[in-house]
């Protein structure tokens, strides 16, 4: 009977192909919203959860049927992993599932900041040929410039490869280990911010990286440099970034992530013409959504059949589950 099938709770809608993969084996419930109460209510009756929204810290209390949690993506800050581990619940993510998508976003944003053809198009339509053509005088090529990348995981390395092979960029990298793959010059954060023409934030949000891009680091940037953040909002000191952009101390920035989602309507960010804002879509395309939904569905099916997920992130769960 359908009611006897395990329940899979998806915090947000899945790609149809991922939902179809689960349908013969489980009853899939999609939350009507992502409020804490909704997330708690559905998690408490679920056998597995697929996560695209931030779960409240106490979400696993009373979730006695829960066999596993899968991140529809990579970042684990949406899941209280320590709480899951304590309760013997395995957690998985999907490394590499949106690496190319985010890397392409980075260069889309960089093109917008350096050669904003959409703005030129709008000027042409509104004001005519000559006013639009003059906007080209202030644009810049990215070839041969210096790209600084904070965080050298899969996304940071992919951004570096595109910058090097596609545009002949010099690439600087700063990471927790202090090491860098071949072709990337390992350097300190201070030197990276001082020397780079474009800086990309590609590290996870942790206790160590919260507020990492500080007054000191933003103050070291070149006046014509730009900052791109597709990672997590709290990594960057937002007030300092606003001040730097408003005063013209840096040329521009692009951010896909914020301290609060959605961005409050009265946020000072909206008043900055040299800031490109997008609503947390860096990792979302039709291609990546299918890949993530299929990957999440496959991990859930492993969990429901008693297997461990392939991309287990909390092996210590076994101690509590024993």
CATH number (domain holding residue 317): 3.40.50.720
Q: Return the bridge partners of 292, or none.
A: none
**Same domain membership, residue 220 and residue 196:** yes
Contact present, 48 and 300 (Cβ < 8 Å): yes
Contact present, 241 and 212 (Cβ < 8 Å): no
Angle between helices 99-114 and 286-304 (to 10 degrees): 160
CA–CA distance, 158 with 262 (Å, rounded to integer)? 28
**Same domain membership, residue 296 and residue 178:** no
| Structure tokens given for 286 | 């039709």
Could you report the per-residue pLDDT of 187-196, keeping only the tens digit for each?
A: 999 999 999 9
**Same domain membership, residue 298 and residue 154:** no
Query: What pLDDT was estimated at residue 163?
Result: 98
The secondary structure element, H or E, covering residue 8 is strand 7-10
CA–CA distance, 237 with 242 (Å, rounded to integer)? 9
Pairing, β 185-186 against β 170-174: parallel
**Same domain membership, residue 220 and residue 91:** no
**Same domain membership, residue 50 and residue 8:** yes
Size of the chain, expressed as the number of residues it contains: 322
The secondary structure element, H or E, covering residue 228 is strand 226-229
* Block mean pLDDT (10 aa), the chain, length 322: 81 97 97 96 98 97 97 94 98 96 98 96 98 95 97 96 97 93 94 98 95 97 98 97 98 97 96 97 96 98 97 96 74
Q: Give residue 32's domain range.
A: 2-97+286-321
**Same domain membership, residue 199 and residue 305:** no
**Same domain membership, residue 313 and residue 176:** no
Instruction: Report the predicted TM-score, pTM, of the whole model to 2 decimal places.
Output: 0.92
Sheet holding 252-255, edge to edge: 185-186, 170-174, 146-150, 198-201, 226-229, 252-255, 275-277
**Same domain membership, residue 79 and residue 110:** no
């Amino acid at each position: 009977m359908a009611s006897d099938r395990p329940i899979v709770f998806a915090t947000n809608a899945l790609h149809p192909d991922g939902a179809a993969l689960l349908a013969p084996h489980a009853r899939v419930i999609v939350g009507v919203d992502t409020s804490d109460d909704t997330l708690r209510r559905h998690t408490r009756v679920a056998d597995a959860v697929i996560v695209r929204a931030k779960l409240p810290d106490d979400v696993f209390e009373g979730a006695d049927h829960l066999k596993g949690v899968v991140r529809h993506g990579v970042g684990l800050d949406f899941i209280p992993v320590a709480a899951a581990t304590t309760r013997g619940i395995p957690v998985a993510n999907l490394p590499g599932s949106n690496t190319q998508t985010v890397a392409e976003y980075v260069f889309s944003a960089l093109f917008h900041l350096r050669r904003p053809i959409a703005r030129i198009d709008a000027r042409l339509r509104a004001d005519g040929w000559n006013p639009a053509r003059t906007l080209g005088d202030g644009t810049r090529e990215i070839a041969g410039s210096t790209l600084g990348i904070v965080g050298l995981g899969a996304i940071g390395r992919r951004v570096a490869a595109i910058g090097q092979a596609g545009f002949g960029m010099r690439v600087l990298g700063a990471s927790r280990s202090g090491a860098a793959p071949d072709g990337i010059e390992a350097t300190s954060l201070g030197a990276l911010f001082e020397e780079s023409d474009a800086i990309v934030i590609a590290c996870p949000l942790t206790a160590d990286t919260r507020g990492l891009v500080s007054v000191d680091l933003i103050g070291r940037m070149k006046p014509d440099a730009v900052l791109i953040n597709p990672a997590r909002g709290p990594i960057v000191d937002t007030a300092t970034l606003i001040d730097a952009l408003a005063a013209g101390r840096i040329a521009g920035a692009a951010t896909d992530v914020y301290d609060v989602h959605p961005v409050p309507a009265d946020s000072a960010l909206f008043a900055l013409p040299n800031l490109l804002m997008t609503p947390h879509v860096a990792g979302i395309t039709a291609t990546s959504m299918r890949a993530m939904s299929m990957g999440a569905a496959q991990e859930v099916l492993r969990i429901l059949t008693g297997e461990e997920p392939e991309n287990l992130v909390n092996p210590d769960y076994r101690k509590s589950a024993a």
